[in-house]
Structure 1
Amino acid sequence: MEQIEEIVQNLGLDKQLKLEDIPDLDLYMDQVIQLFEKTYRQSKRDEDEKILTKTMINNYAKGKLLPPIKNKKYSKNHLILMNFVYELKGALSLTDIKMTLSVWNQQIGNESLQLEESFQAYLTVQEKNLDGFFSEINKKEKEVGEVFEQVDTLNAEQLKQSMLILSCIHMSNLYRRTAEKLIDQLAQTSDKEV
Structure 2
Amino acid sequence: MEKLLDIVDDLHLDNHLLIEEMPDLDLYMDQIIQIFESKLEKSKRNEEDKVLTKTMINNYAKGKLFFPIQNKKYSKNHLILISLIYQLKGALSINDIKATLDKLNEKIIEEELDVENIYQSYIKLSNRNVERFYQDIEKSADEVKAEVSKQEDDDSSYLEQLLLIASVVNMSNFYRRLAEKLVDSLDDEDES
Whether TM-score is above 0.5 comes out as yes
What are the superposed Cα offsets for residues 72-101 of structure 1, whole Å, 9 maximum, x if unpaired?
Answer: 111110000001100111111100000001
Give the Cα–Cα distance (whole angstroms) in 2 for the partners of residues 5 and 152 of structure 1.
Answer: 26
Name the residue aligned to 1:24: 24
Name the residue aligned to 1:81: 81
Give the Cα–Cα distance (whole angstroms) in 2 for the partners of residues 70 and 165 of structure 1.
Answer: 45
TM-score norm. by structure 2 comes to 0.96
2:178 counterpart letter in structure 1: T
TM-score norm. by structure 1 comes to 0.95
Name the residue aligned to 2:14: 14
Give the Cα–Cα distance (whole angstroms) in 1 for the partners of residues 37 and 152 of structure 2.
Answer: 45
- Give structure 2 stretches of 5+ with no counterpart: none
Give the Cα–Cα distance (whole angstroms) in 2 for the partners of residues 114 and 39 of structure 1.
Answer: 23
Q: Secondary structure at the match of 1:98?
A: helix
Superposed displacement of residue 152, structure 1: 2.4
2:58 counterpart letter in structure 1: N
Percent identity, aligned pairs only?
A: 50
1:153 counterpart letter in structure 2: D
Matched positions, count: 192
Question: Do the aligned residues in 1 keep the contact of 2:11 with 2:42 (CA within 8 Å)?
Answer: yes
2:143 counterpart letter in structure 1: E
1:181 counterpart letter in structure 2: K
1:91 counterpart letter in structure 2: A
Superposed displacement of residue 131, structure 1: 0.7
Matched, 1:104 2:104: yes
- Give structure 1 stretches of 5+ with no counterpart: none
RMSD after superposition: 1.3
* Greater CA drift, 128-137 or 145-154: 145-154
